[in-house]
């Protein structure tokens, strides 16, 4: 592989790393915060690792270690990604697993191609626009979440099998075996898992299968205890033997459909849990979509992401196109963040009007990603004053400089759970994979005897039209995929990978990925420092979210003087990524603190 053109000093203990923007003067430790507490019996977490032979970064050390073992034994990036994702289904069951969906971005070093898999959940074929309406009014959000109504046909199992069949070297049985063993022996509960369980305890208690698994003896699992999931271990082994056909047909499919249509609620529970209308026909009709990625050029790089049904690739791409007109690397923090916030505000306005499932809606993907449209929208940005939200969208089919559009569509709520993993192998193949069951804990409903939670992905749809003159491409429909913000991203220079990244966090995923790219490319920060830097999130709302590192800084007051309004958010996103270094080395990057810190590992340090 070619050596990147510019080099940047990393840590004192590391050698020069490739960067792709203006050099940064500052260097520092791998993370600004001390390493989080590690329960005994778990692999050590580290936010950064550098070495040869491949790299894995995820939120969980058990999962990352499984991915590294696959690479060490000769598996490729796809093999390791599926094995890591299956392990996250054990240790991160509130964020991802068999009951959910996601988006898979793959770079093939043999062909130089980037390809993607849309494994997003689908609404039942019976779904209509009034899916979440009762007596003409939207359901309360929490009631919609904890119900069968919110459950879409899972896409994660089909994604794993499709990825392995298309690019992998392992069988599904081989890829699932380590996670099955992990589920059988259990994982050590940490403080983050216990806190997430506590936040869902009332919901879990109303479903006997969820309570038996996640509330042993009716109590929260103790930090340092071992949580086992023998049902999931059996499910993984069954899928390994029979293939994913067993998930979408047969006994497992019948168990899943029965759970959605007749949610198994404790008779003593007072919660009203509405049934869903998922059928065996819905499962049998599900298919992963292989599709072309979204792509934009930025500072001489090619940035690839997910095209719709995800809004990640188009919204990150439009914002980057808007920002390319500015010398962000030469600006101070206030001027740079002002422009990043405005570009994000504009891109979210256009996202709300135009992005939905292209199988059901006319989504102008090419127009949203065009430089012509970005230039027409970017002229709205002023140096001395912030824009006001909600900002009206533009029209990518007819770009006109600073032209007003229709009324703004409201921002739909997306749960801030989800998880992301990034993998690179010794041959230079790379995977960026975001997967989810939507809200932390999903629907709260575990399939009895199967060991996994079901998603609440359909609450990503708009519950009702915003108004008669406000087009909304994200209303429910038969077999429709709800709009997503997941943004698994690959960055190439001259056809070769230089970085890959992604994050959980609902619609803040887009702003997280955008800021990491700006930090890395424009500011010249090595990837682990770009991940660790404090974040903000502007999504065409009146108030912008700021993490404490920015909220407590002079930058906030300087931005407020331009008209920005802020609210404090303790944590935005939980990213992972990999960066290609000279000499065939990889840097794996994860969070030092967010969501308890992540786990970055390499095959050979």
Active site residue 418: yes
User: What is the structure's pLDDT at 467?
Assistant: 78
* pLDDT value for 41: 59
Domain for residue 436, yes or no?
yes
Range of the domain at 524: 6-173+413-604
* Angle of the 230-242 helix axis to the 250-261 helix axis, nearest 10: 130
Confidence (pLDDT) at 13: 32
Residue 327 is predicted with a pLDDT of 97
pLDDT mean over 321-348: 97
**Residue 558, pLDDT above cutoff 70:** yes
pLDDT of 66: 98
Question: Which one is catalytic: 259, 418, 511, 576?
Answer: 418
DSSP letters, 442-486, are TTS-B-TTT--BPP-GGGGS-SS-S-TT---TTS--TTPPPPB--
| Interval 516-533 mean pLDDT | 98
Question: How many structural domains does the chain have?
Answer: 1
At 404, the pLDDT band (50, 70, 90 cuts) reads low
Instruction: Note whether residue 358 is domain-resident.
Output: no
Q: What is the pLDDT of residue 403?
A: 77
Is 237 a residue whose pLDDT tops 70?
yes
The model's pLDDT over 107-161, given as tens digits with 9 standing for 90+, comes to 999 999 999 999 999 999 999 999 999 999 999 999 999 999 999 999 999 999 9
Is pLDDT above 50 for 20?
A: no
User: What are the angstrom distances between the C-alpha of 355 and each of 309, 453, 489, 539?
Assistant: 7, 28, 18, 14
Percent of the chain residues past pLDDT 90, beyond the cut:
88
In a domain, residue 118? The reply is: yes
Spatial separation of the C-alpha atoms in residues 379 and 402, rounded to whole Å: 6
With a CB cutoff of 8 Å and minimum separation 6, the contacts of 23 are: 6, 8, 524
Counting Cβ atoms within 10 Å, is residue 489 exposed (0-12), middle (13-18) or buried (19+)? buried
CATH of the domain at 564: 3.60.20.40
Q: How confident is the model at residue 408 (pLDDT cuts 50, 70, 90)?
A: confident
Return the pLDDT at 36.
42
The pLDDT value recorded for residue 16 is 32
- Provide the 10 A C-beta neighbour count for residue 495: 14
Per-residue pLDDT tens digits for 264-314: 999 999 999 999 999 999 999 999 999 999 999 999 999 999 999 999 999
Residues 218-233, mean pLDDT to the nearest whole number: 97
pLDDT at 29: 29
Neighbouring CB atoms inside 10 A of 383's CB total: 9
- 175 pLDDT higher than 90: yes
Q: In the predicted model, what is the mean pLDDT of residues 537-553?
A: 97
Task: Quote the CA–CA distance of 297 and 369 in Å, as a whole number.
Answer: 10
Comparison of pLDDT for 407 and 325, the residue scoring more: 325
Q: Quick check: is 311 in a domain?
A: no
> Looking at residue 121, what is its pLDDT?
98
- Whole-number mean pLDDT of the chain? 92
Whether 1 has a pLDDT exceeding 70, the answer reads: no
pLDDT at 405: 67
* CA distances from residue 250 to 89, 267, 275, 280, 282 in whole angstroms, order as listed: 22, 28, 21, 9, 13
- What single DSSP character describes residue 169? S
Rounded to whole angstroms, the Cα distance separating 572 from 252 reads 36
pTM, rounded to two decimals: 0.92
Asked whether residue 509 is assigned to any structural domain, the reply reads yes
Residue 394 pLDDT grade (very low, low, confident, very high; cuts 50, 70, 90): very high
Question: What's residue 518's pLDDT?
Answer: 98
pLDDT > 70 fraction of the chain, expressed in percent and rounded? 91
The answer to whether position 495 is within a domain reads: yes
Contact 274, 149 (CB under 8 A): yes
On whether residue 324 sits in a domain, the answer given is: no
Q: Residue 28 pLDDT more than 90?
A: no
Answer whether 147's CB lies under 8 Å from 276's CB: yes
| pLDDT value for 23 | 28
What pLDDT score does 416 carry? Answer: 60
Give the strand pairing for 599-604 and 48-58.
antiparallel
For residue range 34-66, list pLDDT tens digits in order.
Answer: 334 455 557 889 999 999 999 999 999 999 999
b/e burial code for range 266-305 (CB count within 10 A of at least 16 → b) = eeeeebebeebbbbeebbeebebbeeebbbbebbebbbbb
pLDDT exceeds 60 at position 94: yes
Percent helix, strand, coil in the chain, to 5, is 35, 20, 45
Give the integer Cα–Cα distance in Å for 46 and 24.
Answer: 23
- Tell me whether residue 576 is in a domain: yes
Output the pLDDT for position 552: 97
């Amino acid at each position: 592989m070619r050596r990147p053109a510019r080099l940047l000093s990393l840590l004192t203990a590391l050698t020069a790393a490739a960067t792709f923007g203006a050099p940064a003067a500052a260097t520092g430790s791998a993370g600004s915060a001390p390493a989080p507490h590690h329960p005994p019996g778990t692999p050590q977490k580290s936010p950064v690792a550098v070495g040869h032979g491949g790299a894995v970064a995820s939120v969980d050390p058990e999962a990352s270690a499984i991915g590294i073992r696959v690479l060490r034994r000769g598996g490729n990036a796809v093999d390791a990604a599926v094995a890591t994702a299956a392990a996250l289904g054990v240790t991160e069951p509130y964020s991802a697993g068999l009951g959910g969906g996601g988006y898979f971005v793959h770079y093939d070093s043999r062909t130089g191609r980037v390809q993607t898999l849309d494994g997003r959940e689908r609404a039942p074929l019976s779904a209509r626009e009034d899916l979440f309406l009762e007596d003409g009014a939207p359901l309360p959000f929490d009631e919609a979440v904890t119900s069968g109504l919110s459950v879409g046909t899972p896409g994660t199992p089909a994604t794993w099998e499709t990825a392995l069949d298309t690019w992998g070297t392992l069988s599904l049985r081989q890829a699932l075996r380590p996670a099955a063993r992990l589920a059988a022996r259990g994982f050590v509960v940490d403080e983050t898992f216990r806190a997430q369980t506590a936040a869902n305890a009332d919901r879990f208690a109303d479903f006997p299968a969820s309570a038996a698994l996640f509330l042993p003896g009716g109590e929260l699992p103790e930090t340092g205890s071992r949580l086992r999931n023998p049902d999931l271990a059996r499910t993984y082994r069954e899928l390994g033997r029979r293939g994913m056909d067993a998930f979408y047909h047969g006994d497992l499919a019948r168990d899943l459909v029965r759970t959605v249509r007749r949610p198994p609620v404790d008779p003593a529970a007072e919660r009203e849990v509405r049934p869903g209308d998922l059928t065996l026909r819905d499962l049998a009709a599900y298919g992963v979509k292989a599709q072309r990625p979204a792509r934009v050029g930025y500072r001489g790089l090619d940035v690839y992401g997910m095209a719709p049904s995800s809004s990640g690739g188009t919204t990150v791409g439009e914002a980057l196109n808007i920002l390319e007109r500015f010398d962000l690397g030469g600006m101070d923090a206030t001027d740079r963040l002002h422009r990043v916030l405005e570009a994000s505000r504009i891109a979210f306005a256009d996202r709300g009007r135009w992005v939905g499932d292209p199988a059901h809606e006319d989504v102008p993907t090419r127009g949203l990603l065009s430089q012509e449209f970005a230039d027409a929208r970017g002229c709205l940005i002023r140096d001395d004053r912030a824009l006001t939200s909600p900002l009206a969208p533009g029209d990518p089919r007819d770009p006109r400089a600073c032209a007003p559009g229709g009324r703004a569509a409201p921002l739909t709520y997306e749960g801030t759970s989800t998880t992301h993993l990034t993998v690179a192998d010794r041959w230079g193949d790379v995977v960026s994979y975001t997967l989810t069951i939507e809200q932390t804990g999903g629907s709260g409903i575990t399939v009895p005897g199967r060991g996994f939670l079901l998603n609440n992905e359909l609450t990503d749809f708009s519950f009702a039209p915003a108004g008669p003159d406000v087009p909304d491409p994200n209303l429910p429909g038969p077999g429709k995929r709800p709009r997503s913000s997941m943004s698994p991203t690959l960055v190439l220079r001259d056809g070769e990978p230089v970085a890959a990244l992604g994050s959980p966090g609902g619609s803040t995923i887009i702003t997280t990925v955008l800021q990491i790219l700006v930090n890395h490319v424009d500011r010249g920060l090595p990837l682990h420092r770009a991940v660790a830097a404090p974040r903000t999130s502007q999504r065409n709302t009146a108030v912008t979210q700021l993490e404490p590192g920015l909220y407590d800084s002079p930058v906030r007051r300087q931005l407020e003087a331009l008209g920005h309004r802020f609210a404090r958010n303790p944590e935005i996103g939980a990213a992972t990524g990999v960066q290609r270094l000279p000499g065939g080395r990889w840097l794996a990057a994860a969070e030092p603190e967010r969501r308890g810190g992540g786990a970055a590992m390499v095959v050979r340090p």
